[in-house]
Structure 1
Amino acid sequence: MSKSGRPREFKDTAVIDAAMELFWENGYEACSTDDLCKQTGLGRGSLYNAYGSKHELYEQALLRYHEIGIQAQIEILQRQGPIKDRLRALLDWAIQEDFSNENRRGCLLINAAMERAQRDPVVERLFTRHVDLLERTLHLAIETAQMSGEISRTHQASDLVHLFLSNYYGLRVLNAAQNRERAVQIAKATLEIVF
C-alpha cells in the first residue's frame, strides 16, 4: 500500500530505478512527465496516483540513490585493514562509478545539488545528509588511525576529513570532463597529502 492507502500495482523499486536513470541522464528540469511515463512504463494517472508529482518521484529517486551510494562508501571505510588502503579504495570506487558509464553522468546527488540545491530544500537536505554521513564515518576512521599511529597527529582529524572530502567531491565533479588518467593522479596526490 502507498502512504495514502492506495494499492500499488507495480514494483516500487523498478519504477524508482527507471525514473532515477532518466533524472540521472537529463537532470530534473529536462525530464517531462511524458518522458517519465515512457521510462517507467506507467500511465500519467498511475504515476500521479502513486507518487503525487514529478518532484515526489524525483525525491524518491534521489533517496534511493543516496541509500545505495552511502552504504557502499561506508562499507569501504569500515573494512578491516590500513586506513590508507581504505581511503584509496574509496577514491578508486568513486573513479569506477564516475567512469563506468560512457556518458560519464557523474554522481546523481552532486548533479542534483548543482542543478537545484539553491532552490530545492529536498535536494539540499538529501545532499547534506549524504555528506554528513560520509564525513562522520571518515572522521571516525581517521581519528582511529591517528590513535594507532597510522596517520600523524600533526593536523586535527577534522581538518584531514575536510581536506579529503573537498578533494573527493572535487574529483567527482571534475570526472565529468576529465580523463581517467588525471582522475587517478588526483586520487594519488590526495592520499599523499593526507599521509
Structure 2
Amino acid sequence: MGRPKQFDPQAAVGEAMEVFWRKGYAATTPQDLVDALGIGKGSLYHAFGSKRQLFLLALRRYGDAQVAALAERLQGSGSVKDKLRTALRDLAQFDLTDPYLRGCMAVNTSAELIGAGEEAAAVIRGVFDRIEGALLAAVEEGLRTGEIDSRRDPQEIASGLLATILGMHVLARTADGPERLTRIVAAAIAAL
C-alpha cells in the first residue's frame, strides 16, 4: 500500500483562489476544488474545514497579493502622479488582458455575497481599507512634494482613487477595448 499523496496547504490555497476567482464562491463546487488541488474530499475538509473556510483563506491571499502589488507600484522615486497613473494603467491592462475576464475577486465577492456573511464582508473591507491606505500614502507624498494641492483633503482623494479602481475592475469585465479605461485613468490623474 502506497503512502497518501502529500500536498502543500499554501499552494492549495493559491490553487483554490484561482478557482474561486474564476467561478465565484457559489458556482465553485467541492469537486471543482478537489480536481484543482489534486486531493480527496476528505483531505480537503480535514485540511481546511469547509469550502467557506478555504474560500476565506483564498480571499485573504488575493487581498494580500493585490495590496502588495499596488504598494510596490507606488513606491520608489519619481513623480507621485506618474506612479499613480502607472498603477492605474497597469491595473486596467491586467484586467483587459485576463483571458477569463475575472475582474477583482474582492469586488466580485462583494457583489455575489451581499448579506451572505460577515466574515467575507470583513475580509473585503480589510482589502479595500488597505488599498485605500496605500493610495493615501502616495497622496500624502504628493502633498509634501507640492504635486497635489495642499488644500485638498488627502483622505477624500484616496477614497476617490479607490472608487476609481473598483469601478475600473467592473468596467473591464465587459470592455471591448481600452478606450474607456484610458479616459478614466486620465480623468482621475487630472483631478489630482
Compute the TM-score of the two structures, normalised by the length of structure 2. 0.91
Find 1:49's aligned residue among 46, 63, 69: 46
Find 2:15's aligned residue among 11, 15, 18: 18
| CA displacement at 1:115 relative to structure 2 | 0.8
Are residue 188 (structure 1) and residue 186 (structure 2) matched?
yes
Corresponding residue number in structure 1 for 2:75: 78
Corresponding residue number in structure 2 for 1:63: 60
Alignment gaps of 5+ in structure 1: 1-7
Corresponding residue number in structure 2 for 1:128: 125
Find 1:28's aligned residue among 25, 28, 38: 25
d(CA) in 1 for partners of 2:104 and 2:173? 9
> Once the two structures are superposed, what CA deviation does each residue of 1:33-91 show, in whole Å capped at 9, x if it has no partner?
11111111111101011001001111111111111111011111222211011101210
Q: Does the aligned pair in 2 maintain the 1:175–1:183 contact within 8 Å?
A: yes
| CA displacement at 1:154 relative to structure 2 | 3.5
SS at match of 2:191: helix
Corresponding residue number in structure 2 for 1:3: none
Q: Does the aligned pair in 1 maintain the 2:74–2:84 contact within 8 Å?
A: yes
CA RMSD of aligned residues (A): 1.6
Find 1:164's aligned residue among 161, 166, 186: 161
> Once the two structures are superposed, what CA deviation does each residue of 1:70-127 show, in whole Å capped at 9, x if it has no partner?
1011111222211011101210221122123222110111111111142221221111
Comparing both chains, which one has the higher relative contact order based on Cα–Cα distances under 8 Å and sequence gaps of 6 or more?
A: 2
d(CA) in 1 for partners of 2:76 and 2:61? 23
> Once the two structures are superposed, what CA deviation does each residue of 1:121-170 show, in whole Å capped at 9, x if it has no partner?
12211111111112122222212211221111232112211222211211
d(CA) in 2 for partners of 1:174 and 1:184? 12
Q: Which moved more, 1:92-101 or 1:41-50?
A: 92-101
Are residue 118 (structure 1) and residue 106 (structure 2) matched?
no
| CA displacement at 1:22 relative to structure 2 | 1.2
Q: Which runs of 4+ in 1 moved over 4 A?
A: none
d(CA) in 2 for partners of 1:163 and 1:132? 13
d(CA) in 1 for partners of 2:86 and 2:7? 37
The residue type equivalent to 2:156 in the other structure is D
Are residue 148 (structure 1) and residue 145 (structure 2) matched?
yes
Q: Does the aligned pair in 2 maintain the 1:117–1:123 contact within 8 Å?
A: no
The residue type equivalent to 2:181 in the other structure is A
Are residue 109 (structure 1) and residue 102 (structure 2) matched?
no
Q: Does the aligned pair in 1 maintain the 2:140–2:154 contact within 8 Å?
A: yes
Identity %, equivalent residues: 32
Q: Does the aligned pair in 2 maintain the 1:20–1:61 contact within 8 Å?
A: yes
d(CA) in 2 for partners of 1:80 and 1:180? 27
